[in-house]
Amino acid sequence: MVVSFKAKRLILFGATGDLSQRMLLPSLCALDADELLDPELKIIGTARSQLSDSEFRNFAREAVEKYLPNGRRGRIADFINRLSYHPVDVTTPEGFKNLAEKAGGGEQPVAIFLSTAPSLFEPTIQGLRDAGLAGEMSRISLEKPLGTDLQSSKEINDAVASAFSEDRIFRIDHYLGKETVQNLIALRFANIMFEPLWNAQHIEHVQITVGETVGLESRVDFYDDAGALRDMVQNHMLQLLALVAMEPPTHFYADAVRDEKVKVLRALRKVSAKEIVTGQYRAGAIDGKSVPGYDEELGKDSDTETFVALKAHIDNWRWTGVPFYLRTGKRLPERVTEIVVQFRCIPYSIFTNAKTVPNRLVIGIQPEENISLSLMAKVPGLDRDGMRLRSVPLDIAMPDAFVGAARRIAYERLLLDLIEGNQTLFVRRDEVEAQWDWIDAIRQTWTEEGLTPKTYSAGTWGPSSAIALAERDGVTWHD
């Protein structure tokens, strides 16, 4: 069953939180400015804070003015008029009934966005069900983290499934809303030159890097419980890997795309101890400024990893023998998310006096969205002693390639898809659980082998053993 109704009401749980302030309210305002929201759509914010409608509207105005670029604020007043507020303590049943009345009494199509702690998911869903807000005309979106392991993820999914069918559950991974991530699908399946080469016969290895320069910031308690593996690898990085490695779907429809991603996730080989490196940053310098170590920021000793590098294998016909190198960490030299596809060397070179370098495709996701393909080209000159060659990049900066197109926040696409009922860029239950199954096996290996994080200085690319992880295969990380 495909749920195709457009929501007339959008309820934002956690409406006074950081995500709402930085992403959700600015994204909705931008969509409204571009006239992409149904004129009848009403947005209801809810949280424990005791605010009036006017106080919440002032909060939203300040958020939009702070986080949305000037050129995209077109109709702030119109957007603010869509907003109302109703306080709800989700741990008690009181308040849900009045919220339901404000949302149309269950007679209006409703989209619900949960930006709350996972521990509040179950009571929230119970309250929605009891108030009549979980019927066939309602759909729900969940922010990560969806559990801390496979078992807790199943418990969350079971709780949601008790009130909402799978076709009405929208699990968010905001990376999937980024333009360049979506462009990866277009690059692979809309260009004849790539797909025939997209296999083990022509690709030597793949690298996926997600680097952060920040430390703990406001996420102290969450991060020390989660660590880099569960915070970044389990969701964002495995979703990127799945998009790189999946087979062509039959259509660009939600289930067709997600079916192929699940096949990749289930084909991931268990990672051995020698294919894993973990680290924890110590004091160092970022952009010339001294920063404290993780233990100093935390205020105590901890064995939580702030860096992970690993070598993954996909055991299927397309990718057998092709290593996927993944690394992510905090307090690295730069903020970057990129995918590097390294092609194999040419089988034979006719250029006896010139060294050829394998082609490399680099897909930049953040902070800049771009695609670069390195090709061998002749160096200008008479070449009396033989042709000279050099690797040169063909660069496509996405903002430059599409002049005039608005550079959107990832949540704009995801919120609009939630309102309209398009699940293509959302994560299905079996995807989440396949990801957790693989991650749990890695954590079990850590425990069995007694692995603990190695230290690295802030401002470096992690422990030296992470470099060795790739170099013993003759691979150099793309820094």
Binding residues: 48, 89-90, 144, 174, 178, 212, 231, 330
Distances (CA, A) of 207 to 210, 293, 329, 397, 417: 10, 27, 14, 20, 30
- Respond yes or no: is residue 202 known to be catalytic: no
Distance between CA atoms of residues 160 and 145, nearest Å: 14
Q: Are the beta carbons of 148 and 176 closer than 8 angstroms?
A: no
Q: Are the beta carbons of 233 and 324 closer than 8 angstroms?
A: no
Q: Please give the structure tokens belonging to residue 466.
A: 């992470």
Q: Which of 86, 202, 205, 236 is catalytic?
A: 236
Distance between CA atoms of residues 212 and 432, nearest Å: 24
Backbone angles phi, psi at 206, to 5 degrees: -130, 140
Q: Please give the structure tokens belonging to residue 338.
A: 């990129």
Distance between CA atoms of residues 28 and 21, nearest Å: 11
Among 409, 235, 452, 223, residue whose Cα is nearest residue 330: 223
Binding residues for NADP(+): 48, 89-90, 144
Which helix (H) or strand (E) segment holds residue 100: the answer is helix 96-102
Q: Are the beta carbons of 469 and 477 closer than 8 angstroms?
A: no
Strands (DSSP E) contained in 212-353 are 276-282, 284-286, 289-291, 307-312, 324-329, 336-343
Distance between CA atoms of residues 259 and 428, nearest Å: 9
Omega of the bond prior to 145 within 30 degrees of 0, cis? yes
Query: Would you give the DSSP letter of residue 107?
Result: -
Distance between CA atoms of residues 21 and 33, nearest Å: 17
Among 229, 235, 253, 247, residue whose Cα is nearest residue 427: 235
Distance between CA atoms of residues 369 and 89, nearest Å: 40
| Half-sphere exposure of residue 41: CA atoms within 13 angstroms, side-chain side | 27
Binding residues for substrate: 174, 178, 212, 231, 330
Q: Are the beta carbons of 478 and 327 closer than 8 angstroms?
A: no
Q: Are the beta carbons of 394 and 373 closer than 8 angstroms?
A: yes
| Residue 211: strand pairing partners | 329, 336
Q: Please give the structure tokens belonging to residue 330.
A: 């905090």
Tell me what percent of the chain is helix, strand and coil, each rounded to the nearest 5: 40, 20, 40
Distance between CA atoms of residues 28 and 353, nearest Å: 59
Catalytic sites, residue numbers: 236
